[in-house]
Amino acid sequence: MAAPLASKAGSAGTTTKPPFPELDFRSGARVEELNKLIQEFTKHDQREYDDQRALEIHTAKDFIFSMLGMVQKLDQKLPVANEYLLLSGGVREGVVDIDLDELNVYARGTDYDMDFTLLVPALKLHDRNQPVTLDMRHSALCHSWLSLRLFDEGTISKWKDCCTIVDHINGATNYFFSPTKVADWFYDSISIVLSEIQKKPQRGMPKVEKVEKNGTIISIILGVGSSRMLYDIVPVVSFKGWPAVAQSWLMENHFWDGKITEEEVISGFYLVPACSYKGKKDNEWRLSFARSEVQLKKCISSSLMQAYQACKAIIIKLLSRPKAISPYHLRSMMLWACDRLPASYLAQEDYAAHFLLGLIDDLQHCLVNKMCPNYFIPQCNMLEHLSEETVMLHARKLSSVRSDPAEHLRTAIEHVKAANRLTLELQRRGSTTSIPSPQSDGGDTNQPDDRLAKKLQQLVTENPGKSISVFINPDDVTRPHFRIDDKFF
């Protein structure tokens, strides 16, 4: 009797089918394949930098910071002790909420190899220990005018030529800080400084390949060695503390609770030079929480970030015309998803495909309902101004992605591979090489650049695997300061 039982058990074991591969219901794509495609995209999109590339990155940053120090010395408008926020990725990558329709199209590989956004405070309000109340009477939600009445007479005198003037019935004059006039002044000042710098080129100095004003953004492309770096420089107003209009957001539960402190999240915010759809461009600024977003990013899982980057690459190409959806909208949706979904689910390392499909679904849902709340000021709908025709056009385009996500991922991979090939080809040709650049007449002037390069190269060699940064003292922008992890040199 035992044998038949064993035979029966064996028979049952041989007829059991393996689990069916997990499929995406909508497209029929295998989730395992989508995960592999996302991993491949990440591998090509996030390249490792060797010592030479690290040196070139820091040389470019040193040049930009030194240039801004010279801008400050021109007319003393910029704060002497300034604090810049440097973000990885250009404005076109959605690192700040600025409209893209006024920006020239730059392509990675063709125009640049790496891109950064630098927020440069033109004015600072850093002594506030209470919620900051802004003048939003004339503006749409998430926007504000800025009266110089908040500042001293010296500041008003320095900046009044960059203001619009409103005379009141009672005879008082109010100066409103103008984002367009500030951007014009900033571009003119940077152009003057770069012109002076290029008259006396020094060995090791980056080559300025392009300087353009894109709306209220100044875009500079530098050639350093074999690298081309895009810097989108944004003049901003910097505040310590938190705006009163976003105070209710702090009362809600968020995914970052317990992971980072509230003090880190609400340490400051900005006004960036961007107006609402019907706003007055000369007067209206947009609230930006870029400093907070840097902190929140620490709490987002690597698999979700990979899905976000892959989704962003797809929509930048697909939804570029007409320009209605920016990567910043996608970033906002990702933050809302982090609040909505369990942290244990979002932490799953092999769920990148699920997250990608979910982000596409979220974006399509927002388009169909013409509703995308700002993460920090939810009452502000960032899609409110779009026409029904535009949102439905983009929703239909996203429907094609959702029907075949694997094919669109392969296209994104080919695009990033092509960009990398262009970069390598230009490096081989040496077409952007500017080290050494034409030397200045005085031999001694080359020594500081040589010492900077040698010092950084030594630090990179002696400290493998450590975080190495270059900081510029705002009071003396000519001297670099190196930091390795928490130690300064």
> What span, in angstroms and rounded, lies between the C-alpha atoms of 252 and 402?
32
| Rounded Cα gap, residues 373 and 379, in angstroms | 6
pTM for the whole thing?
A: 0.83
Residue type, 355: F
Q: Angle of helix 405-429 relative to helix 302-318, nearest 10 degrees? A: 90
> CB under 8 Å, gap of 24 or more: what pairs does 25-31 form?
26/357, 26/402, 26/403, 27/402, 27/403, 27/404, 27/405, 27/406, 29/404, 29/405, 29/406, 31/353, 31/354
CA dihedral 342, 345, 346, 351 (to 10 degrees): -160
Task: Break the chain into its structural domains and give their ranges.
Answer: 31-426
The answer to whether the CB of 484 falls within 8 A of the CB of 54 is no
Q: Peptide bond preceding 243: is omega within 30 degrees of 0, i.e. cis?
A: no
- pLDDT at res. 433: 41
* Residues present in the chain in total: 489
Instruction: Map 160-202 to HEC letters.
Output: HHHEEEEECCCCCEEEEECHHHHHHHHHHHHHHHHHHHHHCCC
Measured between its terminal Cα atoms, the distance across the chain in Å is 83
pLDDT computed for residue 167 by the predictor: 74
DSSP track, 254-268: -TTBTTB-HHHHTSE
Report yes or no: 458 and 52 within 8 Å, Cβ to Cβ.
Answer: no
pLDDT at 97: 95
Place of tokens 């640049």: 112
pLDDT of residue 319: 80
Q: What DSSP state is assigned to residue 213? A: E
Q: What pLDDT score was predicted for residue 230?
A: 97
Q: What is the pLDDT of residue 201?
A: 81
Residue 15: the pLDDT is: 53
Q: What confidence score (pLDDT) does residue 188 get?
A: 97
pLDDT at 171: 63
Q: The domain 31-426: what is its CATH number? A: 3.30.460.90
Backbone φ and ψ of 442, nearest 5°: -85, 120
**pLDDT score recorded for residue 241:** 87
Instruction: Report the candidate in 61, 85, 68 with the shortest Cα–Cα distance to residue 289.
Output: 85
pLDDT at residue 54, rounded to an integer: 85
CA dist., res. 139 & res. 276, Å (int): 8
CA dist., res. 461 & res. 475, Å (int): 29
pLDDT at 463: 56
For the record, the structure tokens of 97 come out as: 């909420």
The pLDDT assigned to 446 comes to 34
Residue 246 has what DSSP assignment? Answer: G
- pLDDT tens for the chain, 489 residues long, are 344 444 444 444 455 655 778 998 989 999 999 999 999 999 999 876 677 888 899 999 999 999 999 999 999 999 988 899 999 999 999 999 998 887 888 999 999 999 999 999 999 987 655 677 888 888 899 999 999 988 888 889 999 999 999 876 666 788 999 999 999 999 999 999 999 998 888 888 999 999 999 999 999 999 998 899 999 999 999 999 899 999 999 999 999 999 999 999 998 999 999 999 889 999 999 999 999 999 999 999 999 999 999 999 999 888 877 778 899 999 999 999 999 999 999 999 999 999 999 999 999 999 999 999 999 999 999 999 999 999 999 999 999 999 999 999 999 999 999 999 988 888 777 644 433 332 223 333 333 344 555 555 555 555 554 545 544 444 444 444 544 444 444
